[in-house]
């Protein structure tokens, strides 16, 4: 994997949120990871990467559950 800088990842995250934010203010996590992988800034199966650091700095993770049953539906990243 190429050498990726945390600042590149922060810029990617901010840009991605501007373009793909769902109503309510979040980005679905799998959608984000797929885009990050395609961009070359993240590699599937890696942990402790610059992308992980940038996400920890800029976002929180929230689980979305079904209102009626309380079952887990999906997770989103929200900007802090």
Beta carbons of 10 and 54 less than 8 angstroms apart: yes
**Amino acid 22: pLDDT:** 83
Which pLDDT tens digit goes with each residue over 16-36?
A: 999 999 888 899 999 999 999
Beta carbons of 15 and 9 less than 8 angstroms apart: no
Helices (H), the chain: 6-20, 29-39, 50-58
Q: Return the DSSP state at 43.
A: -
Task: Please indicate whether residue 73 or residue 23 has the higher confidence score (pLDDT).
Answer: 73
Beta carbons of 8 and 50 less than 8 angstroms apart: yes
Does 2 score more than 80 pLDDT?
A: no
- Is the pTM value of this prediction over 0.85? yes
């Amino acid at each position: 994997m190429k050498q990726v800088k945390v600042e590149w990842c922060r810029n990617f995250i901010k840009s991605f949120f501007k373009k793909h934010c769902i109503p309510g203010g979040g980005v679905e996590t799998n959608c984000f990871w797929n885009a990050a992988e395609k961009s070359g800034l993240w590699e599937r199966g890696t942990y402790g990467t610059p992308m992980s650091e940038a996400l920890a700095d800029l976002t929180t993770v929230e689980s979305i559950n079904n209102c009626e049953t309380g079952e887990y539906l999906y997770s989103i990243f929200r900007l802090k």
